[in-house]
Amino acid sequence: MLLGLLGAFGAAFCYGIGSVLQAVAARGTAAAEGLDPRLLLRLAKSWRYLVGVGLDGLGFVLSIAAVRTLPLFVVQSIVASFLAITAIVGAVVLHMPLRRSDKVGLAVVIGGLVLVGLSAAEDRAVDVSSAEQWGVLVFVISLAVVAVPLARIPGAAGAAALGAVAGLAFGATAVAARMLPGSLALDQIFGQLGDLLTSPATYALMVAGALALLTYSIALQRGTVTQATAPLVVGETVAPALVGLLLLGDEPRQGWGWVATLGFVLAVAGAVSLSRHGEIEEADEPDPTLDTARRSEG
C-alpha cells in the first residue's frame, strides 16, 4: 500500500511538470484544425514536448503500479493533485499570475485530495468479466468519435471540452490498467503476453492513452493551462472512481465513507473554480474601442 501511494504521488509530480512543458511546446506550434493527429508530429520537433511526454510516460507507469494495489478513487485523486503543481509552475513559467480565488481553489483541491487519501484502504482483487473489458474499449472508441466535433470549438470552451475528453480518456487508461489480466510484475509479465494481447483492456489502454495525449495537446492550444487542466482533473478522477466503486469492488476504510465523499466534493469544486482562471483574465483585458472613444471625447 505504501509503494502504491508513493507511485501515485510520483505520477502526480511527473504529470504536473510534464503538462507545463507540453503547454509551452503547444503554444509555440502551429494550431491544429480539428482533431488532427499530425499535431503530435509537429510537437515531436520540440524538446520540451518530448521531455513532457517522457515525464507523462514515467507518471503513467507509476500510476499503473499504483492502481494495481490501491482503489481507483484513491490513486486518481492523488494523481489529480498535479493540478496544483501545474498551476504553480504555470504561473512562474508561463507568467499566468494566480489570484486570490485561484489560490483558494488550489487549497480546496489539495484539501479534498488529502481527505480522499486519508480514507484509503488496500485494494482487494475482483474478477473482471470479458464484457466489462469490451465495455471499456467501446467507451474509448465512442469518446474518440465525440472528440471530433468538439475539436472544432475555439477558445476557452474548446479547451475545456477537449480537457474533459482528455480527462475521461486518462481515466479510461486507469480503469483498463486495473482490468488487465494477471500480474504486471517484471518477472511474470513476459509469461503472460498471450493473455495481454488477447485482452480488450490492453487495446482500450493504448487507444485511450493516444486519445488523451492528442486531445490534451489541442486543448493547450485553445486556452490556458488551467482551462485545459481543470476539467481534465474532474474527468480523470470522478469517472474512474465511480467505476471502481460500482464494478471493481473498491471501497474506503471502514467508517471513512463520508470523508471520501467530502474529499471528492471539495476536489471537484476546487477544480471547477480554477477553470475560470483564464476567463477572468480575458474579461479584465481593456477594450481598445472604448479607450479610443474616451481619448476622442477628451
Give the Cα separation of 158 and 10 in Å (integer): 30
What's the confidence (pLDDT) of residue 271?
67
Q: What is the pTM of this model?
A: 0.76
Give the Cα separation of 60 and 194 in Å (integer): 22
**Each residue's pLDDT tens digit, 63-103:** 888 887 788 888 887 887 777 777 777 677 667 777 787 78
Low-confidence ranges of the chain (pLDDT < 70): 1, 32, 90, 93-94, 122-126, 182-192, 271-272, 274-298
Surface-to-core class of residue 94, CB atoms within 10 Å of its CB (0-12 exposed, 13-18 middle, 19+ buried):
middle
What's the confidence (pLDDT) of residue 293?
41
The 3 state secondary structure assigned to 212-251 is: HHHHHHHHHHHCCHHHHHHHHHHHHHHHHHHHHHHHCCCC
Cα atoms found within 13 Å of the Cα of residue 62, Cβ hemisphere only: 23
For residue 16, the tally of other CB atoms under 10 A from its CB is: 23
Give the Cα separation of 92 and 84 in Å (integer): 13
Is the sign of the CA dihedral 51, 57, 60, 65 positive or negative?
Answer: negative
What's the confidence (pLDDT) of residue 291?
42
**Residue that has been written with the C-alpha cell 484513491 in this structure:** 74
Cα atoms found within 13 Å of the Cα of residue 104, Cβ hemisphere only: 8
Residue of 54, 42, 52 whose CA lies nearest to 21: 52
What's the confidence (pLDDT) of residue 154?
84
What's the confidence (pLDDT) of residue 269?
75
What's the confidence (pLDDT) of residue 78?
80
- Cell (9 digits) for 238: 470522478
What's the confidence (pLDDT) of residue 186?
54
**Each residue's pLDDT tens digit, 15-73:** 888 877 877 777 777 776 777 777 778 888 888 888 888 998 898 888 888 887 788 88
What's the confidence (pLDDT) of residue 295?
41
